[in-house]
Amino acid sequence: MAITSANQLELLQTAEAVAREKMIDPALVVEAMEELLARAAKSRYGAEMDIRVSIDRKTGKATFTRVRTVVEDDELENYQAEFTVEQAKQYMEDPKVGDVFVEEVPPVEMGRIAAQSAKQVILQKVREAERDRQFEEFKDRAGTIINGVVKREEYGNVIVDVGRGEGILRRNEKIGRESYRPNDRIRCYIKDVRRETRGPQIFLSRTAPEFMAELFKMEVPEIYDGIIEIKAVARDPGSRAKIAVISYDGSIDPVGACVGMRGSRVQAVVNELQGEKIDIIPWNEDQPTFLVNALQPAEVTKVVLDEEAGKIEVVVPDEQLSLAIGRRGQNVRLASQLTNLDIDIMTEAEESERRQKEFEERTSLFMDTLDLDEFFAQLLVSEGFTNLEEVAYVELDELLVIDGVDEDTANELQARARDYIEAQNRAALESARELGVEDSLVQFEGLTPQMVEALAKDGVLTLEDFATCADWELAGGWTTVEGERVKDDGILEPFDMSLEEAQDLVMTARIVLGWVDPADLEAEEEEGAEETAEDQEEAGA
């Protein structure tokens, strides 16, 4: 297309046609044309000149103007686009620095090569505007389901036409055995929308847990209305899934509502997910109860929760073990994802064996340290005593309830336990001092001699060293590495120290050393309490 000053109306017609086709603002196309005509004029009149072009939005007439700016004498650099106050006087009355002089110049004819170049630049501008429009349209649709048509497949990735743009369904976001042909209709979850150099990238998924949640929202009106809430979803795409739901209306059964009449609602979701089997589970705030529900269809005998480690032990009947674990560990893996806990499953026989082993170890401990016979040691363990500290410092009445134990025997037991503990403490302190521990750490309240010895063995020799420790270094913790939860052993973890206790001890050490002002801590706690109260009020509202 040759753009000349003669076919002015064609400029507007071209702009409107392109804008209509690409569904963008015609003004953007006209601005691109003005820029190109100005560029062509500069190539004729001189690149140093400030040539501007204005196209009349009604007639299409292009007006070419040369602009010159008044500057200080010592700032004059471009003689074609600037002039001094003295030079401007022949063109303007009373010129001042910063004034602009505009004069019209003859229009420029554009040759075939220039016109072709102009067309390319216009198309580039149009593409940029189109990308911006696409991004603005789809950025707010992330997290929703979209219907599209398969265009083609590239290296296992499916390119999907989603209306005014293209989305990509990567190979790892497809349900395992799915295959698509061009023009197949497809339903996907918009996982992410990002602005990139080659245009907005719309990333689709059919394996995301959120995809299943959105499908249920479409099929179950109670979820859409907020009467039922989906609290958690865990999927093994194409094979099995678990979804936890809760009802805020006591008259509505959340599981029954999601299943639907004769399973119609859940079956619609199953069909969309290529036959993926779905377990619908009632949510419960109590984690052990929720876990029992999550491990369905297996029956659970007992649950032991370790909240600090984020672990939970589940005991099942021997014949239920394979059902609880599932094929290739699928059932327990999904239950773990749903509850966000590490689950250890053991049979009743394994648990009984472990309890027997613990019983024997504690019996042996009391026999060796308190010089008791096996029968008497077993009596102590049977009454719930697990360590020497409990025997040494428990109320005397708790020992007197044991068959055959009178007051003299109870006092003798406590005396032996205290003597042994004191001997252990002396040995631990001697070992710590040999390692170079200082009195500031030994005398710090909250640390036992055994703890001081453990710290010394790890190179913590002074109160200053202790004050620089992180809570997890002392109490241990869990980190996630490449999707796997990994245990970090703490120096004082063998002494059953919690993270909260470690935080309190470290902060107390910093206050003792003068590193932290207690008044500042109180102010922070009050501020935190106020923020929590505000958050709760907002949640209630």
Taking only the tens place, the pLDDT of each residue in 157-205 is 888 888 777 888 888 888 877 788 888 898 898 888 887 766 668 889 8
3-state secondary structure 72-86: CHHHCCCCCCEEEHH
Q: Is the pLDDT of residue 271 over 80?
A: yes
Give the pLDDT score at 436. Answer: 92
Q: Is the pLDDT of residue 407 over 80?
A: yes
Give the pLDDT score at 1. Answer: 37
Q: Is the pLDDT of residue 479 over 80?
A: no
Section 495-511 average pLDDT: 87
Residues 6+ apart with CB under 8 A from 20: 26
Section 518-536 average pLDDT: 63
Cβ count near 420 (within 10 Å): 17
Residues 6+ apart with CB under 8 A from 121: 32, 35, 36
Distance CA 162, CA 504 (A): 55
Q: Which residue(s) pair with 342 in the sheet?
A: 311
Asked whether the beta carbons of 428 and 439 are under 8 A apart, the reply is no
What value does the CA radius of gyration of the chain take, rounded to a whole number of Å?
Answer: 39
Q: Is the pLDDT of residue 135 over 80?
A: no
Taking only the tens place, the pLDDT of each residue in 273-300 is 888 899 999 998 888 888 888 888 888 8
Which two three-digit tokens encode residue 30? Answer: 């006209």
pLDDT, mean over the chain: 81
How are beta strands 157-161 and 166-169 bridged, if at all? antiparallel
Give the pLDDT score at 318. Answer: 82
Asked whether the beta carbons of 18 and 125 are under 8 A apart, the reply is no
Which two three-digit tokens encode residue 156? Answer: 């296992």
- Range among 176-190, 230-244, 312-326 with highest mean pLDDT value: 230-244
Residues 6+ apart with CB under 8 A from 109: 4, 5
Which one is predicted more confidently, 308 or 268? 268
pLDDT band at residue 92 under the 50/70/90 scheme: confident
Closest by CA to 434, choosing from 465, 469, 461, is 461
Give the pLDDT score at 539. Answer: 44
Give the pLDDT score at 244. Answer: 92
Section 316-335 average pLDDT: 85
Which one is predicted more confidently, 395 or 81? 395
> Of the given ranges (47-51, 116-120, 228-232, 413-417), which has the lowest mean pLDDT?
116-120
Q: Is the pLDDT of residue 2 over 50?
A: no
3-state secondary structure 202-260: EEEECCCHHHHHHHHHHHCHHHHCCCEEEEEEEEECCCEEEEEEEECCCCCCHHHHHHC
Section 472-497 average pLDDT: 79
Asked whether the beta carbons of 105 and 66 are under 8 A apart, the reply is yes
Helices (H), 435-487: 439-442, 449-457, 463-467, 471-475
Give the pLDDT score at 5. Answer: 41
- Kindly report whether the global pTM for this prediction surpasses the value 0.85: no
Give the pLDDT score at 21. Answer: 67
Which two three-digit tokens encode residue 502? Answer: 């470690």
> Of the given ranges (3-7, 431-435, 503-507), which has the lowest mean pLDDT?
3-7
Helix-helix angle 8-22:26-45, to 10 degrees: 140
Residues 6+ apart with CB under 8 A from 314: 291, 295, 300, 302, 303, 324, 343, 344, 345, 346
User: Tokens 């501007």, residue?
Assistant: 52
Give the pLDDT score at 18. Answer: 67
pLDDT band at residue 6 under the 50/70/90 scheme: very low
Name the residue type at position 127.
R
Closest by CA to 205, choosing from 219, 186, 224, is 186
Buried b or exposed e, range 140-150, using 16+ CB within 10 angstroms: eeeeebbebeb
How many CA atoms within 13 Å lie on the side-chain side of 200? 25
pLDDT band at residue 345 under the 50/70/90 scheme: confident
Distance CA 412, CA 34 (A): 103
Section 146-155 average pLDDT: 87
